[in-house]
Structure 1
Amino acid sequence: MEPIKVGVVGATGYAGSEICRLIAGHPQAELSAISSVSFEGMALSQVYPAYSQMIDLVCGTQDQVVEQSDVVFAALPHGLSQDLAAQCDALGKTFIDMGADFRLEDEAAYQEWYGGEYQDKALHEKAVYGLPEFFREKIRGKKVIANPGCYTTAVPLALVPALEAGLIEQEGIIADCKSGVTGAGRKPTQGNHYPELNESFTAYKVAAHRHTPEIEQTLSKIEGSPLKVTFVPHLLPINRGILATCYARLKPGVTEDQLWEAYHARYDGEYFVRLLGKGQVANVKNVRYSNFCDVSLFVDSRTGTFIAISAIDNMVKGAAGQAIQNMNLSFGLEETAGLTIVPPAF
């Protein structure tokens, strides 16, 4: 089989450069073309010296990426992917969007949270939501894939088995999440300026983060009825990682053993989800640079509260790694291809 030709639009951002790094180790794909508005004409290794002699491809134009690729990853801000998706669709290319343009099924929600509109409703109907652990069969062979956000991966992976098994109440779910600063993107802002970030820890976009409707969409689809979540993100002074601590009320009579049974039933066959043993706590350190999600479970019997904690690398399982997982499903490859990376122990 000829290697899949991979193109990355927005290759010099954090998510785009991470796709390039991971594709460099993929056994059945090769990086064919990249683009960057800010660094056109420069080699990726000039922007990221760590890639020297490994990824020396020069940033060209968006049209060159589409022309030279079988699959195009769009690592762009929201609002910039729809025209590119239509271009790829017309040419029969697979398109995987790292942004938000195809994540929400409800156009009204997209208008409310992102201030945009669907340019081609038929194209949006073609799109599938790419969280493989829950929607794998819908992703296989598809050509337009919306890659989930980082929080919107970590929270459902923590909660779905309990929700799916009917062990927790729909009302009162809280997702208390912490992210490394790479989640804010490569462009400097006041909030990720070193003196502001160092020795700091703060909540942001409280009860107003754009990932809220996406989290609710996934949980509602699994549950089969609409539900709402209180979601509060925080910014950690670290480069990588998301820790999602999720709280829910147990339904009357539910035991801890039932919870463990539900999580084992859902995740024992999932390569990228590691259900930790009783008493172990998920830690972002243990998933760095990998596509794994570690999940730990606790019950506060005094208050009847279920606590599920998940840890992911926001740049891999929360972005580029999951995108490649979706590419593998789209092209009929082994789902783990190029992603069996062992996290560093220290």
Structure 2
Amino acid sequence: MSRLKVGIVGATGYGGAELIRLLSNHPYFHIYSVYSSSQEHVELAEVYPHLAHLTYTLEQIDPVQMAKDIDLVFTATPSGISSKLVPQFVNEGLKVIDLSGDFRLNSEELYKTWYKKEPASQKYVQQSVYGLTEWFNENVQSSTFVANPGCYPTATLLGLAPVVKAQMVKEDSIIIDAKSGLSGAGRALSHVSHYAEINENMKIYKVNEHQHIPEIEQVLKQWNENVQPITFSTHLVPMTRGIMTTIYCTLKGSYTIDELHNLYTNSYQSSPFVRVRKQGTFPSTKEVSGSNYCDLGLTVDARTNRMTIVSVIDNLVKGAAGQAIQNANVMMDFEQQTGLHVLPVYP
């Protein structure tokens, strides 16, 4: 079959660079063009020397021309930018996978409160589907516009989904302790990303204010309308890639680890990118680095009747570019794994 032409808007960010890395090996998608609003006409290799063998020049964003040139566009732009760009692409008939947070929340007021920006038009929010493919596969398959989940929500929701959907945990007991590598903060320089600030250091940030909180709660409530507000804490750790979420929740009944482990293995038996670890073993971030895998480890404390779930992903792959390509595969009726057969980089 002829390859589909795709474009990448926001190619100068880390998410854009990962899209280029992964799509370069895709048998059915061809990167036709890359776009930037801040570095037009610059050679891509000047921005990312590790891509020196590629001859792309960053092009001006022109939705009308793009609709003539390409079939699908990935928008790896900051929140507040996609809300203005994506509707133009949709109106021109382009298929869109948006990696920002602009189309994930159903409520305008929630978006204003948590993102501190003006929301996208509800017309387009309602057209989009939430792309957590493991649980919304049919929605993605029938869509032409996907809102790619956030990195923290991906790790958290994949960890919680089986027990929340089965209503096995107390709805007011969910606590998430999340840690991320520095690439999650983006490529722009700030005091947070300064070497002297993060080296040999660990920081909690956006305490009770992280914009991914309402996204997580919105999906949890779709699975169980009785879920109460969660406690969600995020930390920066001195590594480049990776997210680890350690999730605590109180069980409603006396479930054994065998029962819970069977629930998870059965829930994800048809999900090629979710790997449930053997009982008594727990994943680390390096074991998924550079890959589209989410690894899960489970345990139950019989003294407290609390379940602990450990979920790890690469924030730039399963938490962004890899999941976006997975969604594009499903949208175009390809196998989910197409172009994503990438083993973790280890050590």
TM above 0.5, one fold? Answer: yes
Residue equivalent to 1:129: 130
> Retained in 1: the 8 A contact 2:144–2:331?
yes
Residue 66 of structure 1 deviates from its aligned partner by 4.7
Map 1:1-346 to 2 at 5 A. Answer: 1-53=1-53, 55-63=54-62, 65-346=66-347
Q: 137-146 vs 289-298, which deviates more? A: 137-146
The CA deviation string for residues 296-337 of structure 1, in whole angstroms up to 9 with x for no partner, is 001111111100000100000000000001111111111111
For structure 2, which runs of at least 5 residues remain unmatched after alignment?
none
> Retained in 2: the 8 A contact 1:141–1:331?
no
Report the Cα distance in structure 1 between the residues aligned to 2:299 and 2:231, rounded to whole angstroms.
19
> Retained in 1: the 8 A contact 2:176–2:232?
yes
Residue 119 of structure 1 deviates from its aligned partner by 4.5
Residue 27 of structure 1 deviates from its aligned partner by 0.6
Report the Cα distance in structure 2 between the residues aligned to 1:90 and 1:256, rounded to whole angstroms.
50
Report the Cα distance in structure 1 between the residues aligned to 2:232 and 2:55, rounded to whole angstroms.
40
Residue 188 of structure 1 deviates from its aligned partner by 0.7
**Change in CA separation of 1:241 and 1:345 when aligned onto 2, cut-off 3 Å:** same
For structure 1, which runs of at least 5 residues remain unmatched after alignment?
none
The CA deviation string for residues 269-290 of structure 1, in whole angstroms up to 9 with x for no partner, is 2100000001111110010110
> Retained in 2: the 8 A contact 1:219–1:227?
no
The CA deviation string for residues 79-120 of structure 1, in whole angstroms up to 9 with x for no partner, is 111232221112211011111110101122112112334443
Report the Cα distance in structure 2 between the residues aligned to 1:22 and 1:119, rounded to whole angstroms.
29
Tell me, what secondary structure is at the counterpart of 1:62?
Answer: coil
Report the Cα distance in structure 1 between the residues aligned to 2:5 and 2:310, rounded to whole angstroms.
37
Residue 170 of structure 1 deviates from its aligned partner by 0.9
Report the Cα distance in structure 1 between the residues aligned to 2:237 and 2:316, rounded to whole angstroms.
15
Report the Cα distance in structure 1 between the residues aligned to 2:2 and 2:68, rounded to whole angstroms.
17
Q: 181-190 vs 74-83, which deviates more? A: 74-83
Report the Cα distance in structure 2 between the residues aligned to 1:144 and 1:228, rounded to whole angstroms.
29
> Retained in 1: the 8 A contact 2:67–2:93?
no
The amino acid that maps onto 1:23 is L
The CA deviation string for residues 37-86 of structure 1, in whole angstroms up to 9 with x for no partner, is 33221221221111111x32110111154542211111111111123222
Q: 157-166 vs 128-137, which deviates more? A: 157-166
Report the Cα distance in structure 1 between the residues aligned to 2:75 and 2:115, rounded to whole angstroms.
18
Question: How big is the alpha-carbon RMSD for the aligned residues of Structure 1 and Structure 2?
Answer: 1.3
**Change in CA separation of 1:68 and 1:94 when aligned onto 2, cut-off 3 Å:** same
TM normalised by structure 2 equals 0.96
